[in-house]
Amino acid sequence: MIAKLNIMTDRLIIPDYCPVPAAKPFMRPLLIAFGWLCVALGGIGVVTPGLPTTVFIIMAAWAFARSSRRFHDWLYSHKLFGPALINWERHRVIPPKAKVMAVSMMSLSVAIVAVIGAGSWMAPTIMMAAMTPVAIFILTRASRAPA
């Protein structure tokens, strides 16, 4: 079972599979701020081509795991981000729709930069060199959780 419902509070109880140790008290506010910055950037990335969502949400999960159990649980029970995080954490799965979207947006970003910087080949080449290994990584991950 992925999560249980606490009858007393109507909140999901997310099992803690995180091997990351808790941060020192002085680091907690910084990690919480960093986590929320990553959530904001991930949210913007949902609607902005070229800005990744998954990477920022995974970084937010890491930051919240070290700093705030409440925010960590919120992120894992979020209707948009939670299922992808849980599938990634448990099975290293990237859904087919997310794969298509990620590789399409990377390709679109390179195409836009190539058209806008029509006289220069340097920026699109650097982008392709950076995005190709990422695309290969994404495409070679499992698409569905094992049965």
DSSP 22-81: PPPTTTHHHHHHHHHHHHHHHHHHHHSTTS-SHHHHHHHHHHHHHH-HHHHHHHHH-TTT
Q: Are residues 39 and 65 in the same domain?
A: yes
Q: Are residues 54 and 80 in the same domain?
A: yes
Dihedral sign computed on CA atoms, order 94, 100, 101, 106? positive
Domain count, the chain: 2
Dihedral sign computed on CA atoms, order 62, 63, 67, 71? negative
Q: Are residues 87 and 100 in the same domain?
A: no
Q: Read off the pLDDT of residues 59-104 as tens digits, 9 standing for 90 and up.
A: 899 899 899 889 998 999 999 888 888 888 888 888 888 888 888 8
CB 59 within 8 A of CB 76: no
Residue 116 lies in a domain: yes
pLDDT value at residue 99: 87
Q: Are residues 102 and 63 in the same domain?
A: no
Q: Is the pLDDT of residue 12 over 70?
A: no
Q: Are residues 77 and 36 in the same domain?
A: yes
Please state, in angstroms and rounded to a whole number, the distance separating the CA atoms of residues 29 and 40: 16
Q: Which two tokens stand for residue 94?
A: 């990237």
The residue-averaged pLDDT of 7-13 equals 49
Q: Are residues 103 and 86 in the same domain?
A: no
Q: Are residues 39 and 84 in the same domain?
A: yes
Q: Which domain holds residue 51?
A: 20-91
Please state, in angstroms and rounded to a whole number, the distance separating the CA atoms of residues 53 and 44: 8
Residue 64 lies in a domain: yes
């949902």: which residue's tokens? 46
Q: Which residue has the higher pLDDT, 126 or 101?
A: 126
Q: Are residues 84 and 100 in the same domain?
A: no
Q: Which two tokens stand for residue 37?
A: 């910055």
Q: Is the pLDDT of residue 8 over 50?
A: no
